[in-house]
Structure 1
Amino acid sequence: MAEAQYETRTKTVEETFVVLRLTEDEADALRGFIGQVSSSGDVYRIHQALTRPANPEPAADTFEYEGVTYEMGATYQDRVGDKFTFEAGTAGPGETPRGRFWDSNRGKFGDSCWTLSEVVDGWAPLTKVTA
């Protein structure tokens, strides 16, 4: 008897990008040169990118404390492995933003609030959790 089943496979792909930073004058010169060379394939796509540059991503809501910039809403791990997330708009006058502590027993951020300064002063360094 024949049997079939679906499988899900996860593939990890690493890509390398080259970022070219140009002044407007340099971009104009390169655009003019590329426009004269070819109008097909990769050269065409490069010309199109120079003709219609994408708008930059909006800046994340951040807060700077003691020379370090923290992204609000991101999760940070302290030196002993505890996790916190800090929320924009929660700082009172003269305060740093308030954050919530990850409650591993409940598997979510709990209700206990800590200020960014309390966490940094007591448990630095904080490392942004990216995965």
Structure 2
Amino acid sequence: MDYAPLTWSSCPPSYLSLLEKVQARAQRLIRLKVLPDQLLCPLQPLQQRRGVAGLCVVYTTHKQHVPYLAALRQPRARPHGHTTRAAASRDHQLIVPFARTETSLRSFLPRYTIMLNRMVQQTQLHSTSSLQTFKSAVNAWIKQP
């Protein structure tokens, strides 16, 4: 459920709420099985896990140039012709594919391209060298309000 962002990202919110109910039930079952003296780690929300997995796919596509993900590769945004505050991060941003409807905006490429562009503007995570470092840093970035 949580490692298939390509599949689940374009689902309507009503379908995603059904998945959240399944996770809530699983958490209740886990809490029932835990002994009173054991400490239970909270499970991450599925939306956060989908976000991290989707950004990792985009990172893998653009940084590691994996051939089987070549169809997901988006072109880089053109650099500004003049100097602005956003010019430095613009070199690492991607062009967001056109989406006419809300359903199209929820699909994988627009959603995670927008997320990656926002992440590039706010942080320097895109310059990390390993996928594991990127994944850990994105996990912390998504948790921030």
What TM-score results when the alignment is normalised by the length of structure 2? 0.24
Q: Which has the higher contact order (CA 8 A, sep 6+)?
A: 2
What TM-score results when the alignment is normalised by the length of structure 1? 0.26
Larger radius of gyration: 1
Q: Relative to total residues, which structure has the larger helix share, 1 or 2?
A: 2
Q: Relative to total residues, which structure has the larger strand share, 1 or 2?
A: 1
